[in-house]
Structure 1
Amino acid sequence: MKHDVIVLGAGMVGVSCALHLQARGEAVALLDRRAPGLETSFGNAGIIQREAIAPYALPRDFGFLLSGATNQRIDVRYHAGDAARLLGPLWAYYRNSAPEAYRHISREYETLIAHSLETHQQLMNDADAHHLVAGQGYLMLYRSERELHDFFHVADERVEAGVHHIKLTGADVAREEPSLQGAFAGAVRWTDPLAIRSPGDLVQAYARLFQQRGGALHLGEATTLRRTDEGGWQVDTADGPVLQAQQVVVALGPWTTQLTARFGYTAPMIPKRGYHMHYAPLPGRPLNSTIIDAEYGYVVAPMKNGLRLTTGAELALPDAPRTPTQIDDAEKIARQNFPLGDRVDPEPWMGTRPCMPDMKPVFGAVPDVPGMWCAFGHGHQGFTLGPITGELLAAMMTGAKPRVEVGPFSPGRFG
């Protein structure tokens, strides 16, 4: 089965790449070991974060580093053995989080986030998927007056980048979210982002659009990728046919470099695992918005399956044993304030965010591997940045001029 391009990976990034290549006239086959949107794209907080014009830096204050070292924080945990293996990338992450380096990285990162909403909205229009939008905006909730007013300053700075917000006092929060219990200093309501009631369903809606437009969707193992005698690529499908194409896009999230390493390309990656659990809503106590607890780093979001609690980051390799104590501890805190009923899921879901030491995604031509392209490393924002990544990569692959300077995101920046 011959195509122009094979895209490996059917998460938000891979599906978006397939759609944009298809829109530029390429015959595209999309392959994953599971149905679209069932890996990392399935389990996030479901926010298209237009306000996130700066990536997540590694805090450099001594208090955070000391508390993190004890492995008792709610927002960050680690597997000691895996963290030791990641010392090189973590040290680079720490250096890139220094103020001057971070400002430069954020300016480059912002060029992508600026197009996140428009590119999603276009695909939502085409896929007839607006019913999956639960609402606009979300709350960043604070308990401390000092931290709240520090964040007010951050929010004001982002206005210059076209990001909008509303400042809320504790009384305002109580009026907007009467089901919350406890006293809060206040919150920032980011008004631009879109909250999605089921992120996995949105990926699947985009994948159906790809099929409706003539795209081929297959189950199969990306690890079967190999060169053809003619210098192209082929990969096996689970139902028998072999896909062939001159070009391949590797968009396998945290597993991308495991595959590209077979062809000579590696890049340092910091896997940040996350967990989620759904809870039954309590009668008469609705949650009106997605809320991030700024102090403890978890999110509670109204979803189609109930209230979804998502954790911060667990530094561990993607295939390391699950340690859901982080979500258990976050749940204990969240239950003091949020209207969480009984657990709905039989066990916590887990996924892995592929994060790079310089906090920027990686997309473009794989160095010294003709016909191979990649798109990965979006960290916490793969769900947000998938469509703009797909647009820019498709432009590069078809010889068009991308509307954003893509040099800062080149795979060639890593060796």
Structure 2
Amino acid sequence: MQQDEQTADIVVVGGGMVGLASAIALRERGLDVVLCDPGEARARTSFGNAGVVSRASIFPMASPGLWRRLPAYLRNADPGLRLRRRHLLRVLPWTAHFLASARGSAWRRAAGALAPLTAAAYPEHRRLADRAGVPHLLRETGWIKLYRTEAAFAGALLEREILAEHGIPAEILDGAALRDLEPALVRPFARAMLLPETASVGDPGGLVEACERLFAGLGGRSLRATVTGLRPEAGGWSVRHDRGGVRARLVVLATGAAAGELARPLGYRFAFAAERGYHRHYALHPDSPPLTRPVYDTGAGSILSPMGEGRVRVLSGVEVDDRLAPPDYAQIEAAARAAAGTVRLGQPLDNRPWLGARPSTPDGLPVIGPAPRHAGLIFAFGHGHIGLSTGPITGRLVADLATGRAPAVPVAPFAPERLLRWPRP
């Protein structure tokens, strides 16, 4: 064995919330775990999240309303979604499946699959935050969806019906009740929907760092390295990285939007795309009341989320483009202009906006389960916007799969086989 090679029971590839939670859960089960990640905190999608942990996060991006808005999407005239048309052609299987998923029946099925996962998300988040010594980062605030017009509110009827079908509470507010609840909002809104079974993370990056410390305290090993390949061998796997390698019985692939690139040499070609998103922090005006919970302005397609006293994170809508393409700040600049009319913003607190790429599956469901043709390989990626939210419960599911236990949440809807195309032997 070379000097730069290590051994372990299991290697987790990817250090975002899904990978970290998986590594922690596996270590809690007594396994010798190596976590491989380059260690670039700002590069992780979990760093740039809105911090919303909501039981109501059960709706894929491919909604039935897509067809009505498609002409605006194709012109990049809708603030919630920007498309790079050349990139859509390069991910044609994802595009075709995504459009086919934009039906009421598919939306309902996806919501039914996600509901048990999001219902288990908060308890597992709370357990993890407590164990990591940062319970204060998780606050049970609820979050609010804002509608600028009665027509926009009426257009969300199907969403409210599906929430009710799954027993997810929602409180409808008129403009006056909204101002009483959240006086920081200065823009008039016709209606709002408060989703009370929601927690918010006041510092997603801080939570990830606390989980790294927890993993180390449990005796887990971290490699600051970029994994370059996975190779099955007798009795397990060889994980190659830019500093050497690790041999292990099991591997968890949890690298988010980059997972397809590592899976492809093994013959797995996923219908996959990257949902890029931007954020920038702003100070609230000194005379403004605090914003006490995240809010989603449906008219602007953007989220405002409080991140510590007097600081607000403005998050853009989705940009579908190659995950490594140069940034285009037009969308976050538009979101910031809209946010300045929603709350009283002060100066930006960042030198430049943050950009991250979320893994997007066309049906809006994550990929969680054993690799179909390789023993000892577990997939855990494709969570889209809910990677931070459902990361801890996904980690528990990964540990269940790795140790032969019945999964705590049904994982059949998340099976990798549903998204594979043109498999190679």
Letter in 1 for 2:128: L
- What secondary structure, in the 3-state scheme, does the structure 2 residue paired with 1:136 have? coil
- 2:419 is aligned to 414
Q: Where does the alignment leave 5 or more consecutive residues of structure 2 unmatched?
A: 1-5, 421-425
The offset of 1:62, in angstroms, is: 4.5
When normalised by structure 2's length, the TM-score is 0.91
SS of the equivalent of 2:269 reads coil
Instruction: Report the CA distance shift for 1:7/1:311 in structure 2 as closer, same or farther (over 3 A).
Output: same
Q: Equivalent of 2:8, from 3, 8, 14?
A: 3
2:366–2:384 contact (8 Å) kept in structure 1: yes
Query: 1:193 corresponds to which letter in structure 2?
Result: T
> Are the counterparts in 1 of residues 26 and 399 from structure 2 also a CA contact under 8 Å?
yes
Equivalent residue, structure 2, for 1:337: 342
Counterparts of residues 14-33 of structure 1 (less than 5 Å): 14-33=19-38
Instruction: Give the Å deviation of 1:226.
Output: 4.1
CA contact (8 A) 2:82 2:318 kept: yes
Does the 8 Å CA contact 1:300/1:307 hold for their aligned counterparts?
A: yes
Once residues 291 and 111 of structure 1 are traced to their aligned partners in structure 2, the CA distance between those partners, rounded to angstroms, is: 24
Q: Counterpart of 1:298?
A: 302
Once structures 1 and 2 are overlaid, which stretch shifts more, 185-194 or 161-170?
A: 161-170
* Equivalent position amino acid for 1:384 in 2: S
- Aligned counterparts, 1:315-394, within 5 A: 315-394=320-399
> Which one of the candidate residues 209, 228, 240 is aligned to 1:223?
228
| C-alpha separation in 2, matches of 1:59 and 1:329 | 25
Q: Is the 8 A contact 2:202 2:308 kept in 1?
A: yes
Residue pair 2:275, 2:321 contacting (<8 A) in 1 also: yes
2:41 & 2:213 partners in 1: Cα distance? 9
**Alignment of structure 1 residues 73-112 onto 2, 5 Å:** 73-112=78-117
Q: How many residues align?
A: 413
Task: Give 1:215-254 correspondences, 5 Å limit.
Answer: 215-227=220-232, 231-236=236-241, 238=243, 242-254=245-257
Across the aligned residues of Structure 1 and Structure 2, the Cα RMSD in angstroms comes to 2.0
Q: Is the 8 A contact 1:20 1:394 kept in 2?
A: yes
Q: Deviations over 1:104-160 (max 9, x none)?
A: 222112221121111111111211221112451111111112332554674365244
Structure 1 residues 153 and 171, CA, compared in 2 at 3 Å: closer, same or farther?
Answer: farther
8 Å contact kept, 2:226–2:241: yes
Asked whether the equivalents of residues 142 and 293 of structure 2 are also in contact (C-alpha less than 8 Å), the reply is yes
Asked if the contact 1:37–1:204 (Cα under 8 Å) also holds between the matched residues in 2, the reply is no
List runs of 5+ in structure 1 lacking aligned partners: none
Match of residue 423 from structure 2: none
Q: In 2, distance between residues paired with 1:154 and 1:236?
A: 44
2:303 counterpart of 1:267: no
Amino acid at match of 2:200: A
Deviations 1:155-200 (A, max 9, x none): 3652442322322110111222223223211211111111111111
Report the residue type matching 1:81 in the other structure.
R
Amino acid at match of 2:308: K
Match among 301, 312, 323 for residue 307 of structure 1: 312
C-alpha distance in 2 between matches for 1:61 and 1:160: 22
Distance 1:413 1:62, change over 3 A: closer
TM-score, L = length of structure 1? 0.94
